[in-house]
Amino acid sequence: MPIPPDVPTPDPALRDAAPALPDPATGWTPRLGAPAMPFRVRTTRGERSLADYRGRWLLLFSHPADFTPVCTSEFIAFARAHDRFQALGCDLLGISVDSLFAHLAWVRSIEAGFGVEIPFPIAEDISMGLARAYGMLHPADTSTATVRGSFLIDPAGTIRMLSYYPMTTGRSVEELLRSLAALQETDASGLSTPADWRPGEAGVLPPPQTVQEAAARNAAGAQDWYYLSQAGAPR
């Protein structure tokens, strides 16, 4: 019996580059710094796999159901921010357990009702294999509605940020953009980003590891021995 296209399957392009991954049927939950679970899915814009995004950032995000108000508001917000994600080298991929045909009808409804085209693919996950592999559905769940899971996956296929929102609360697209920019800042400059950091603002150095380092921070004008701001990488 052939495997349905929405079930996560090992991708040959990633199998040799990443360590062996757990079987999604065991309820594997993604972790920061771990390889993202390879997948191959049908979407509103053709078949997609994790390997297709190698070399670029990917925001993989789930929604509970098509034709629902909070999800519709999110997809409109993602569509309007699409060019900003692209400018940061990041692609978007939505997913839910609805069928491809439901996705196509919903996309047409959003365009007709709100005048907004959805420029990114939406994947079907009828078997719920990908939802369970990414912790959007627990094996014991009786409902097929997924939480609002968001996963920023870097160009090497590593999970760098993840979040889960409840069904009743829409995500902040601005926060996802900020998180993406913060991760890219850290990669470029080695600095960490403080609370409410925005692109162009100063980052902070990691805490000192020795007495000598702590003294040097004070000599450099740190607000305290453990807190020293620095300019970020040039943009």
Residue 86: name the closest of 124, 114, 53, 110 by CA: 53
90 is catalytic: no
- Integer angstrom CA distances of residue 137 from 116, 141, 149, 150, 156: 29, 6, 10, 13, 25
Are 15 and 134 a contacting pair, CB within 8 Å?
Answer: no
Please identify which residue in the block is written with the tokens 């902040």. Answer: 172
**Spatial distance between the Cα atoms of 188 and 141, rounded to a whole number of angstroms:** 41
Burial class (CB in 10 A: 0-12, 13-18, 19+), 58: buried
| Residue 74 phi, psi (nearest 5) | -65, -45
Q: Which residues contact 4 (CB under 8 A, 6 or more apart)?
A: 126, 127
Helix (H, G, I), strand (E, B) or coil at 96: strand
Q: Which of 14, 70, 71, 191 is catalytic?
A: 71
Q: Which residues are identified as catalytic?
A: 71
